[in-house]
Structure 1
Amino acid sequence: MGLTVGAHLEIIRATYEGSSEENGRNLLAALAPEAEWTEAEGFPYAGTYVGADAIIAGVFQRLGSEWTGYRAEVHSFMEDGDRVAAFGTYSGTYKATGRSMRAAFAHLYGLRDGKILRMTQYVDSAMVREALEPAV
């Protein structure tokens, strides 16, 4: 299946630019069955999750239940063959502490034939972890 130039970028863009529900549906549709999703060391959900169920439970359900207004806003996308990078800013308020954060991130995706095989997160985790700590 030959994809046109920019097709992978559009698949990834569709996981960020709609409503949370649309983004989630688009992500699930794009994940390969054994997709690997790696959250950065130092991030609250650090580790590698394999498969849609593990990714949803280990990352997205936690983001939805532990944070208020959590967002990943992308300002730039780049495509290089089967790799797509998204650069942006996370924001949200951690419910347990009431503390807000803003942190720069980069997500690097590897795709094949329109399916996400892997995602690796790079993030300023210190800014996120600060929100997890109770105010002094």
Structure 2
Amino acid sequence: MTSNEHRSVASPTARERVTEFYAGFNHAVANSGETDELATTLADDVCWTDATTGSHADRTYTGIEAVLENVIEGPGRRADHLQALPERVIEADETTVVTGAYVGTIDGRNFDVAFAHVFDLDDGRIRTCTAYRDTALEQRVFDA
């Protein structure tokens, strides 16, 4: 069978792109920061805002390197095992909301911290994300 060279290549849907993001996140934290695949899901000027309360309130990271360091590599170093498990994806125009949980272990203790991520995509890449999670529970897990 020959390929159709005249067929246009469709951009990934928002659901496909955020699914790729979480797969890349899980790969990067399990493999000591191998972030090349994950970086392709992000726009060059990506802006990630941690809109939670407490000591992590109102942190915004701009650019691929800042997001990879602070959102992926930093948490990956703090936990013995960490995964982001998206459970529900809701799409509305250019916005995609994902609810799920960060699960894993730290110092032999299991944790399960719920999150909600609100993504805006542009040209098939993540342009912005506003992240919400249970910081009281997170502090008990990571600061114990």
| TM-score category of the 2 structures, normalised to the smaller one | 0.7 to 0.9
Residue in structure 2 matching 1:56, options 68, 80, 90: 68
- Confirm or deny that 1:28 pairs with 2:39: yes
Report % sequence identity: 28
- Confirm or deny that 1:38 pairs with 2:52: no
Matches within 5 A, 1:1-136: 7-17=13-23, 20-21=27-28, 24-42=35-53, 45-46=56-57, 47-95=59-107, 99-134=109-144
Gaps of 5+ in 2: 1-9
Q: CA deviation at 1:17?
A: 3.8
1:75 is paired with a residue whose SS is: strand
Q: Name the CA distance, whole Å, in 2 between partners of 1:43 and 1:128.
A: 10
Q: Which is greater in Rg?
A: 2
TM-score scaled by length of structure 2: 0.76
Gaps of 5+ in 1: none
Q: CA deviation at 1:14?
A: 1.3
Moved over 2 A (4+): 21-27, 40-46, 92-95, 98-101
* CA RMSD, Structure 1 to Structure 2 (Å): 2.6
Letter of the 2:38 partner, please give it.
Answer: L
Number of corresponding residues: 130
TM-score scaled by length of structure 1: 0.80
